[in-house]
Amino acid sequence: MLPAYFAIRAFNIELARIPDVVSMPQIGAMRMQFWRDTIDKSFKLTPPSEPVAILIASYLKQGHKLNKTWFQRIITARDRKLTHPGFTNLSELESYAESTYSTLLYLTLSALPLKSVEVDHLASHVGKAAGIAAVLRGVPLLAFPPPPNTHSVNPPQMGGGTRERQGVVTLPLDVMSQCGVQEEDIFRNGANAVGVRDAVFTVATRASDHLITARELLKNLQQYRDPGHEFEHMYDEGHGYTKYDIGERTSAERRKEDIDKGFGIVMGPAVSAQLWLDRLQKVDFDIFHPDLRRVEWKLPFVAWLRNRRGKL
């Protein structure tokens, strides 16, 4: 499990870093294609000389299974945001979080191995909350990006030079419109822009809603009750549940066992997202407040306590 876990996390970090190490979308697209090819070769057990690829191939050679579709889904979702980092509406932001953060959790759960509708359902809500929180955390950095990476091996014309970066606001456009937020006002006034705190509050509320839903779902399953609502991504490509994995054919005892097995995977990002959202609320949804960029020292202690109590 550990080699696969490290490989999946390193894979995600490599993809997340691409926008930071290139200054031209074309070069970023080439790197994304490199990772598509790398994943294909890894699943054919002929990995290139790349640590992540070697780890994945090594894990697969031992007879374990991972889902290539989910790797490709993460690449595709991040690739699309290279040229269009913003979001048209809140639903698009949720879809992005599902295709990245939730899918990352699906991959990790499959490496346990664990195939469970209920745990994947939990992972979906937790991943969406974590993804939305991550996008909010990135708003100041993308609106006011740091200077380009001057140590890039790419020449200036190939994406590693000194071209000045243009800021972008990644709050959903429909939310900005509803709250009367102007992008130019954010560039000029930052946290003092009209309506920006209301917009941040609206987006943060959606992340919080997913965490609340995940907690209710977990509580129902731990008490051997019906989940309360159906997993909306149950039939998406990649899940492939059998009739024995779905509905009444799955006993309450087995559901509880699956929850216990996969709890640690979904608990970590849930706790991290909640702690950051709590800090955001304390600063009155000022997304530019410096307290939001400090390390959360309480995370390991809160995570230990939640794990001990079996709560998200």
Tens digits of per-residue pLDDT, 22-34?
Answer: 878 889 999 999 9
Give the pLDDT band of residue 243 (cuts 50, 70, 90).
low
**Are the CB atoms for 80 and 51 separated by under 8 Å?**
no
Question: Residue 44: what pLDDT?
Answer: 95
Angle, nearest 10°, between helix axes 90-97 and 117-143?
120
Query: In this model, does residue 193 exceed pLDDT 60?
Result: yes
Poorest-pLDDT segment among 73-77, 130-134, 211-215, 255-259: 255-259
Residues 65 and 200 in one domain: no
**Are the CB atoms for 32 and 75 separated by under 8 Å?**
yes
Tell which of 37, 54, 84 closes a domain.
84
DSSP 113-154: T---HHHHHHHHHHHHHHHHHHHHHHHHHHHSPPPP-TT-SS
Tell which of 43, 60, 84 closes a domain.
84
Residues 42 and 188 in one domain: no
Residues 141 and 277 in one domain: yes
Amino acid letter, residue 306? R
Residues 200 and 243 in one domain: yes
Q: Which domain holds residue 192?
A: 85-148+155-309
Residues 6 and 130 in one domain: no
Residues 72 and 186 in one domain: no
Residues 111 and 219 in one domain: yes
Residues 67 and 187 in one domain: no
Per-residue pLDDT, averaged over 258-270, amounts to: 93
**Are the CB atoms for 305 and 208 separated by under 8 Å?**
no
Residues 100 and 130 in one domain: yes
Question: Residue 148: what pLDDT?
Answer: 59
Query: In this model, does residue 68 exceed pLDDT 90?
Result: yes
Tell which of 40, 68, 84 closes a domain.
84
Residues 40 and 119 in one domain: no
Give the pLDDT band of residue 245 (cuts 50, 70, 90).
low
- Number of domains forming the structure of the chain: 2
Residue 195: count other Cβ atoms within 10 Å of its Cβ. Answer: 18
Give the pLDDT band of residue 164 (cuts 50, 70, 90).
very low
CATH of the domain at 268: 1.10.600
Tens digits of per-residue pLDDT, 123-157?
Answer: 999 999 999 999 999 999 999 987 655 554 444 44
Residues 53 and 185 in one domain: no
Residues 288 and 215 in one domain: yes
Listed ranges 143-152, 155-164, 269-278; the one with the highest mean pLDDT: 269-278
